[in-house]
Amino acid sequence: MRNRRPGLFTRAAGFGTFVVAAVLFLTGDAPALAQGIKVAPGIELFTSKTDLLAAAPTLANVAFPLADTIGLTLIFNDLTISAPEASETNWGGRGMWKLVYDVFPLSFSSPPGQPLQPKEGILVANGEDDYLIEVRTPVTAVGLAFITNRWAEESITILDDQKKPVQVININKYTEPHTKHFIGIKAEKPFKYLLFDTANGRIENEGIVEISVAARRGMTWVLESRNPTAGTILVGCGNACDPRNGDHACSEQLPLLCIRNSGPGFPLSVPVAVNNTDTYSKWSGGVVATTAPMVPPLALADADTACVNAFGTGWRVAEFHDGWGWKFQAYGGIGDPARRFWVHINDQPLGNCWR
């Protein structure tokens, strides 16, 4: 390794450089549908993609950026990938992506200047053996399909939200030189960072060639009905929401449902023409409206601020229990009646995009 910068991580082993073509899978929802190898309390390792998919089935491809990017950090979709100790890093190249390494007998190279086919490219950290992978919101499962280099010793380190090592997993016993492998990791406690590293490899580049992520998801609701007599509306799950795990990817742009039901003049009395006897369709005592579509903020406070900026003091993002639960009635309107919108839930952390 060249130009090591001290103090970023504490590691038990030395590191070298090698070549790896990796397929990265991430998910914030990893139900216990398959059993892996227990490598530490609350942490399982999988050597089969099929088994990991059974344990964490919500995986989807993430498209690479369409333009080349040069630098030590690449940010796209819900991922940030960096080579924190590299002296020089070139993500991409000519065309969509440029292949810049060759590992006998597995060759991955392209003639300079010629256009590349989709998924032929690679993210390359020149002369560097580490990749720090960060996800926008914590996940509980990760999978890597990769190609080992000569004499390389691989390890995967799970890091907490402060980038402190939680568990170092030595995967040498599950790999062989010059061979394609799959390694999956599932943890009971969500994590945000993963360090993929090697020791004793040859001085050649490594790279990620394809990424799939089941991005963290947030709960959404929809306009269910209108009451023209009372001038009110009913908003709710619409039989298509998931309060526990979320139902729409947090990278998706949807409006926020905002509400005002407290402060001077609130809560509003139940209108005469509103039926408030259904437990699941209770009167909220407020007024609702939707913002412009947006990628949901990372913090609940920022979601509330977006409502204040759009509608004024006293507004906040609507919450699952502003009625009794699952739906509620209110005055107001929805900008696009056919479109779903983000709603907060205060007792299901994995049901929100924000924290």
Residue with the larger pLDDT of the pair 195 and 216? 195
Residue 189 — very low, low, confident or very high, per pLDDT cuts 50/70/90? confident
Residue 308 — very low, low, confident or very high, per pLDDT cuts 50/70/90? very high
Render pLDDT for 285-305 as a digit per residue (tens, 0 to 9): 999 999 999 989 989 999 999
Global confidence as pTM: 0.58
108-117, 164-173, 186-195, 309-318: which has the highest mean pLDDT?
A: 309-318
Render pLDDT for 14-72 as a digit per residue (tens, 0 to 9): 323 333 344 444 444 434 456 889 999 999 999 988 888 787 766 665 566 555 555 56
Measure the CA–CA gap between 86 and 88, rounded to whole angstroms: 5
**Residue 73 structure tokens:** 């950090």
Measure the CA–CA gap between 143 and 73, rounded to whole angstroms: 21
**Residue 283 structure tokens:** 């009167």
Predicted confidence at residue 81, as pLDDT, reads 77
Residue with the larger pLDDT of the pair 162 and 229? 229
Residue 118 — very low, low, confident or very high, per pLDDT cuts 50/70/90? very low
Backbone phi, then psi, for 67, in 5-degree steps?
Answer: -115, 155
Question: Under 8 Å CB-to-CB from 182, ≥6 apart: which residues?
Answer: 23, 46, 47, 48, 49, 52, 143, 144, 145, 146
Measure the CA–CA gap between 138 and 318, rounded to whole angstroms: 23
Predicted confidence at residue 54, as pLDDT, reads 81
Render pLDDT for 252-271 as a digit per residue (tens, 0 to 9): 899 999 999 999 999 999 99
Which CA distances in Å does 302 have to 77, 306, 319, 341, 354? 20, 6, 15, 16, 9
- Return the amino acid letter for 353: C
Residue 141 — very low, low, confident or very high, per pLDDT cuts 50/70/90? confident
Predicted confidence at residue 138, as pLDDT, reads 73
Residue 251 — very low, low, confident or very high, per pLDDT cuts 50/70/90? confident
Arithmetic mean of pLDDT over the chain: 75
Predicted confidence at residue 214, as pLDDT, reads 55
**Minimum mean pLDDT range among 1-10, 200-209, 225-234:** 1-10
Predicted confidence at residue 181, as pLDDT, reads 77
Measure the CA–CA gap between 307 and 294, rounded to whole angstroms: 12
Residue ranges with strand state E in 117-251: 123-125, 131-147, 153-159, 165-170, 180-199, 206-214, 217-218, 220-227, 232-236, 248-249
Measure the CA–CA gap between 316 and 304, rounded to whole angstroms: 4
Backbone phi, then psi, for 91, in 5-degree steps?
Answer: -85, 115
**Residue 163 structure tokens:** 């980038």
Residue with the larger pLDDT of the pair 284 and 102? 284
Percent of the chain residues topping a pLDDT of 90: 36
Backbone phi, then psi, for 51, in 5-degree steps?
Answer: -65, -40
